[in-house]
Amino acid sequence: MRSLFTPRRALRCLASALFILSLCGCTGHLIHQRQETSRDYTYIDFSRNPSPYRFRGRVGGEHSTFVKVLGFKGDRFTVELQQDGDAGFIVYGEGVIIQRGTAISDVIIEATDALLTVEISAYSYGDYVLTITKR
């Protein structure tokens, strides 16, 4: 009886899976990490998926959400937060220029590379939709 598992077949399956994942990108901007200390971290790299990053969530109490965006010199981003409740956000990072509006921030990367951080929190609770667009 022949074994269904062979090293060649395993490599083909792995290569196929990696190829399909790289094509679809899923929401795959990069990594989402949830910590037990009521902090969520999402790391975004627009070079892998140029479509806008859109996320619907809820924050409040001790819970905060951090979205970190990898950018390079000359990159421009628009950060927009639509909220229902007390959700608010701040944008910061070394090597970035931030032009802040009420619900929208425009960001320009002036350093060779920078990690732009969007921090979302609420005093009570709030639902929000965060949209980050690379222009």
Give 113-131 pLDDT, tens digit per residue: 889 999 999 888 899 999 9
* CATH T-level fold of 27-134: Jelly Rolls (2.60.120)
φ, ψ dihedrals at 16, nearest 5° = -65, -45
- pLDDT value, residue 8: 61
- First-to-last C-alpha distance (Å) of the chain: 58
Token output for 57: 């969530």
Q: Rounded mean pLDDT of the chain? A: 80
- Residue 14: which residues within 8 A CB-CB, separation 6 or more? none
Rg over CA atoms, the chain: 19
Q: Based on the number of CB atoms within 10 Å of its own CB, is 77 exposed (0-12), middle (13-18) or buried (19 or more)? A: buried
Report if pTM > 0.75. Answer: no
The residues that bridge with 36 in the sheet, in sequence order, are none
**Collapsed DSSP state (helix, strand, coil) of residue 16:** helix
Q: Where are the domains of the chain?
A: 27-134
**Collapsed DSSP state (helix, strand, coil) of residue 61:** coil
Give 8-43 pLDDT, tens digit per residue: 665 565 555 444 444 444 445 555 555 556 788 888
